Amino acid sequence: MKARSTRHIKKKEYFTIMIVPGPNSRVRTIRISKSAIKSTLYSLLGIFLLSFYLAYEYHDVKGKVGELQSVREELMEQKAQVQNFALNLLDYKRQMFLLRDLDTKLRRVVSLGPRDKAQQVLGIGGPDELGLQNLAALGEKRQADALKEMSQELSQLKGAASRQEASLQMLIEYFEDKRSLYASTPSVWPVRGWVTSRYGTRTSPFSGILKFHEGIDIAAQTGTPVAASADGVVIKAGFSTGYGNMVEISHGYGIKTLYAHNSRLNVKAGQRVHRGDVIAYAGDSGSSTGPHLHYEVKINGLPVNPAKYLN
């Protein structure tokens, strides 16, 4: 006897949707299986998740692209700044080269002598040492290396500038000293007139014996202005036996001048005067035979011929 096989057939479950268009219209029904609804829902969920993922990736990539663009623009700006800095550095080095050349020429003109060898080696080279070809290569080199190289150049340039400043300061002091020496050196006639007695040995108009005359006598009418022959400080102003009303000026550098036999004085001791300032008025005070100015120049306390300082 054959065994009877039984099959359990699972019935499909459906959802029935009734559509009623209107009171006089025919009712329509739609049957949709649950499995079809599940498949549709799963598909929609998958599409939603995929869309969300794609949207997220899109915004992420877009943000990264914007960030990369910002970095690129920043790098381009930095590159421009580096190139501008390099050009300025080159210009400074050219100016340093010109200053060094001027320094050398000035020293040669005034016979001051060259700087110490340690100061002469400025390490800046010629004006083309940096070279514009290096600027063109900046796009191929790492900017960090270029900045490091220029930082070293700048450090060397600062050292060279410091040494150059010291050298130029020495030149300034030299010229200031020369200017001061010139201003302190007698170089003009203290009074206009004619020389009646020169520097040197002469017969005294009072005793008739030979006597050394330490200055020159310049004849001038009483009241004629007497001018300082150089810048200086009045160290004496008053009456002195023999000299009468006299003024003595110290000009520094061991230089002194004396103006004697004045009718009256126009300065006081301690007063600073400049070349050409009126310090007295000519006369015949003291031991004098007539109106004139007795003028002396002394270097380190020793009388010298004033005629050497009259222009």
Q: To which H or E segment does residue 92 belong?
A: helix 34-109
For the entire predicted model, the pTM comes to 0.55
Choose the final residue of a domain: 138, 153, 184: 184
**List of residues 6+ apart from 286 with CB closer than 8 A:** 239, 240, 241, 242, 243, 244, 245, 246, 260, 261
Average pLDDT score over residue span 184-204:
91
- For 215-281, give the DSSP string: SEEEE--TT-EEE-SSSEEEEEEEEETTTEEEEEEEEETTEEEEEEEEEEE---TT-EE-TT-EEEE
| C-alpha atoms less than 13 angstroms from C-alpha of 77 in its C-beta half-sphere | 6
How, if at all, do strands 232-240 and 244-252 pair? Answer: antiparallel
Q: Does residue 117 carry a pLDDT above 50?
A: no
Structure confidence at residue 143 as a pLDDT band (50, 70, 90): low
Determine, yes or no, domain membership for 110: yes
Query: In this structure, what DSSP letter does residue 138 have?
Result: G
In tens, the pLDDT along 219-266 reads 999 999 999 999 999 999 999 999 999 999 999 999 999 999 999 999
Determine, yes or no, domain membership for 99: yes
Choose the final residue of a domain: 184, 215, 244: 184
Average pLDDT score over residue span 173-190:
89
In sequence order, which ranges of 114-248 are alpha helices (DSSP H)?
A: 117-120, 132-136, 143-184
pLDDT of residue 1: 46
Q: Does residue 213 carry a pLDDT above 80?
A: yes
Looking at the fold, whether 275 and 201 belong to one and the same domain comes out as: yes
Q: Does residue 48 carry a pLDDT above 90?
A: no
Straight-line distance from the first to the last Cα atom of the chain, in angstroms, rounded to the nearest whole number: 164
Q: Does residue 47 carry a pLDDT above 80?
A: yes
In tens, the pLDDT along 68-83 reads 777 777 777 777 777 7
Determine, yes or no, domain membership for 71: no
Looking at the fold, whether 296 and 221 belong to one and the same domain comes out as: yes
pLDDT of residue 151: 74
Choose the final residue of a domain: 184, 212, 242: 184
SS3 (DSSP) at 89: helix
Structure confidence at residue 290 as a pLDDT band (50, 70, 90): very high
Average pLDDT score over residue span 139-161:
70
Q: Which residue has the higher pLDDT, 197 or 160?
A: 197
- Mean pLDDT computed over every residue of the chain: 80
Q: What total of structural domains would you count in the chain? A: 2
Determine, yes or no, domain membership for 17: no
pLDDT of residue 128: 43
Q: Does residue 276 carry a pLDDT above 90?
A: yes
Q: Which residue has the higher pLDDT, 3 or 296?
A: 296
CB 245 within 8 A of CB 239: yes
Domain that holds residue 199: 194-309
Q: What percent of the chain has pLDDT over 70?
A: 82
In tens, the pLDDT along 7-39 reads 555 566 766 767 777 677 677 777 777 777 777
Angle ∠(139,143,146) on CA atoms, nearest 5:
100
Q: What CATH number has the domain bearing residue 284?
A: 2.70.70.10
Looking at the fold, whether 219 and 147 belong to one and the same domain comes out as: no
